[in-house]
Structure formats: structure tokens, C-alpha cells
């Protein structure tokens, strides 16, 4: 029997597609455990849109079986993991792409939250050099993503609770970046932050859970700024700039381009919060604006 964590069962409240996924999840996992000759080896864990079951393979080796919600962002996760082949990332052992099922090497539970944030930023910057590989034709395009989001941002009413100067700046930068060929020159992780880097046996740290795109490495930085947000209380501007500088310096990126992409991404996040949620979260909106201000000033 597969015991779904309560938090996974609660994902069904997000809508009909989520409920359908949750309803079929236990059987889907059981079927792959049987088909791939696996043995459950501990309680299931979960993220925001997936469940991970520790297993043993037929030869007794440790692994995890991951079942993800069938969203657009994770559609080609298996392709990117196969392309990386364990270089800076968790190793893919087997996949059933239509069902969003993957068999992955088992990593430790420790993540970068246990480290000083600047040290963590430098570790992530070191992973960039390994996972930022030439583009794959199947992946989503950051150019198209940025153009679409910038159009949405331009349609926001002037009364929206975001400083108008930041909106206008993000629109101008977004249009400029969307027209730059470098915006789709590299495979990027898309969601690389402290909790998406785990300790491992074969290497100190490996990335997990990509939301891959053909994009720009400078787009990667923003999640390192908005995660562990409470730690920046009292010195948000300096804390944001310190983290951004740590990543840029360690990765050899361009400061101005990193600041531009961060501002654009945070304004797009704020726009989606205002237009795609029934009750926009004021704390998240404040965070988005604070980071945008920190990199724009």
C-alpha cells in the first residue's frame, strides 16, 4: 500500500485537475513499483507539486520514485536530467514521461538552508557552470515567456498596487530582453534555490527539480533572493544586493544583466499574483516590489 501524505491529498483542493491527479496517484505509483521491480524503502515525501517515494531497485540499490503533477513547467524535466547525466544534478535512472514518473538516484535530505546564505549562493553559482548547457529544441522558450508576461504587465491598470515606475521599467527591459538572441541561448534550471540543492554521496551538492527552459543564465538568480526572505528582515536592500553580488561574482555573470532580469522576473511575479489568484498575497507582493527596488536603485 502507498500511503499518501496528508499534504499531498490536500493538493486536490487546488482544482479538478489536481483532484484527478491525486485520485490516481497511489495506483500510478504502485503500478510503477511493480513494473520496475522496486521495493518501497520508507515513507513518501513531497514538494509543492510532486511526491517522492524512497525505494530499492532489483539489485538492492537506493533510489527514489518521483511522481509529478502534469504541468507545463515540468513536462521536459526528464530530458534535461538525461542531458545533464548527473553533472551537477541528480541522476535520472529511468522515466515514464507521459505519466510524469521518474526513477532517480537517492540523495540526502540536507539542503542549502543549513548554510550561510552567501556560501549557498556561491555553491549554486558553481552549479550554473555545469548545468547551463546548449539549448534543447523541446524546451519552453524564455523569449516567449517574457514576451507574454510583458504584455500582461503592460495591461495592468495604473491603480495596481505596484509602483508605476517599476512597471514601466520592467516593460521596457522585458521587451529589450525578449528581443535579444542570448535570451534563449542556454538550458536553465528555472527554479534553482536553497531547497532544490541536496547533499549527495558522489558529490557534496546536486540540483533537483528543474523547471527547464531555453533561457538566459542571469534569469536564474531571482529565486536565491526571494527564498529565505525572513533572514533579510531589517536590511532587505543590502541583503538582496549582497546575495546577487555573491552569485554574479562566483558565476562570472554580468551585474547589469542580472539586475535587469531580476527586476523583470519580480514584476512578472507580482503581475501574475494580481491577475491569476483570487486573493493576491500582500506579503508576496511586498517581497516582489522590495527585491525589484533593491536591484533598480
Please give the average pLDDT of every successive group of 10 residues along the chain, which has 297 residues.
Answer: 85 92 93 96 90 95 95 93 98 96 97 98 97 97 97 95 96 96 96 97 96 97 98 96 98 98 98 93 97 94
Is the torsion defined by CA of 208, 213, 217, 222 positive or negative? negative
* Residue of 3, 31, 59, 191 with catalytic role: 191
In a domain, residue 13? The reply is yes
From residue 98, give the alpha-carbon distance in Å to each of 74, 139, 246, 288.
Answer: 11, 16, 39, 34
Kindly state whether residues 38 and 155 are assigned to the same domain.
Answer: no
pLDDT of residue 162: 95
Kindly state whether residues 141 and 232 are assigned to the same domain.
Answer: yes
Residues written for the chain: 297
Among 23, 19, 187, 200, CA closest to 104: 200
Kindly state whether residues 134 and 98 are assigned to the same domain.
Answer: no
CATH code: domain of residue 36 = 3.30.200.20
In a domain, residue 96? The reply is yes
Kindly state whether residues 34 and 121 are assigned to the same domain.
Answer: no
In a domain, residue 249? The reply is yes
pLDDT of residue 217: 97
Q: Which of 80, 105, 130 is the last residue of a domain?
A: 105
CATH code: domain of residue 272 = 3.90.1200.10
pLDDT of residue 2: 77
Kindly state whether residues 37 and 184 are assigned to the same domain.
Answer: no
In a domain, residue 1? The reply is no
Which domain does 94 fall in, by range?
Answer: 6-105
The residue ranges of DSSP E strands in 125-200, in sequence order, are 140-141, 186-188, 197-199
pLDDT of residue 1: 62
- For residues 23 and 51, give the distance between their C-alpha atoms in angstroms, rounded to a whole number: 13
Kindly state whether residues 125 and 263 are assigned to the same domain.
Answer: yes
Q: Which of 105, 125, 150 is the last residue of a domain?
A: 105
In a domain, residue 52? The reply is yes
Kindly state whether residues 232 and 85 are assigned to the same domain.
Answer: no
Q: How many domains does the chain have?
A: 2
Kindly state whether residues 72 and 162 are assigned to the same domain.
Answer: no
Q: Which of 88, 105, 122 is the last residue of a domain?
A: 105
Roughly how many angstroms between the first and final C-alpha of the chain, as a whole number? 55
Reading the block at residue 83, the C-alpha cell is 542531458
pLDDT of residue 297: 77
Alpha helices in 36-163, H assignment, sequence order: 77-84, 117-131, 142-154
Active-site residue, 191 included? yes
Amino acid at each position: 500500500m502507498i500511503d499518501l501524505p496528508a499534504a499531498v491529498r490536500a493538493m486536490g483542493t487546488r482544482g479538478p485537475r489536481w483532484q484527478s491527479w491525486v485520485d490516481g496517484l497511489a495506483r500510478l505509483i504502485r503500478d510503477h513499483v511493480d513494473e520496475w521491480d522496486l521495493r518501497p524503502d520508507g515513507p513518501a515525501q513531497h514538494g509543492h507539486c510532486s511526491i517522492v517515494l524512497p525505494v530499492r531497485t532489483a539489485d538492492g540499490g537506493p533510489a527514489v520514485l518521483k511522481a509529478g503533477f502534469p504541468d507545463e513547467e515540468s513536462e521536459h524535466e526528464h530530458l534535461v536530467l538525461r542531458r545533464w547525466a548527473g553533472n551537477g544534478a541528480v541522476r535520472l535512472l529511468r522515466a515514464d514521461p507521459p505519466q510524469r514518473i521518474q526513477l532517480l538516484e537517492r540523495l540526502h535530505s540536507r539542503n542549502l538552508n543549513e548554510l550561510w546564505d552567501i556560501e549557498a549562493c556561491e555553491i549554486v553559482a558553481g552549479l550554473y557552470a555545469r548545468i547551463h548547457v546548449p539549448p534543447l529544441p523541446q524546451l519552453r522558450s524564455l523569449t516567449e515567456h517574457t514576451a507574454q508576461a510583458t504584455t500582461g504587465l503592460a495591461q495592468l491598470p495604473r491603480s495596481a498596487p505596484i509602483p508605476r515606475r517599476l512597471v514601466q521599467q520592467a516593460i521596457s527591459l522585458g521587451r529589450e530582453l525578449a528581443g535579444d538572441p542570448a535570451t534563449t541561448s542556454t538550458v536553465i534550471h528555472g527554479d534553482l534555490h536553497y531547497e532544490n540543492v541536496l547533499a549527495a554521496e558522489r558529490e557534496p551538492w546536486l540540483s533537483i527539480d528543474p523547471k527547464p527552459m531555453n533561457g538566459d543564465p542571469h534569469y536564474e538568480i531571482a529565486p536565491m533572493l526571494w527564498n529565505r526572505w525572513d533572514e533579510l528582515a531589517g536590511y532587505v536592500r543590502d541583503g538582496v544586493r549582497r546575495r546577487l553580488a555573491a552569485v554574479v561574482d562566483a558565476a562570472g555573470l554580468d551585474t547589469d544583466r542580472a539586475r535587469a532580469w531580476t527586476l523583470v522576473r519580480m514584476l512578472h511575479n507580482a503581475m501574475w499574483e494580481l491577475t491569476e489568484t483570487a486573493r493576491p498575497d500582500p506579503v508576496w507582493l511586498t517581497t516582489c516590489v522590495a527585491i525589484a527596488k533593491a536591484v533598480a536603485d
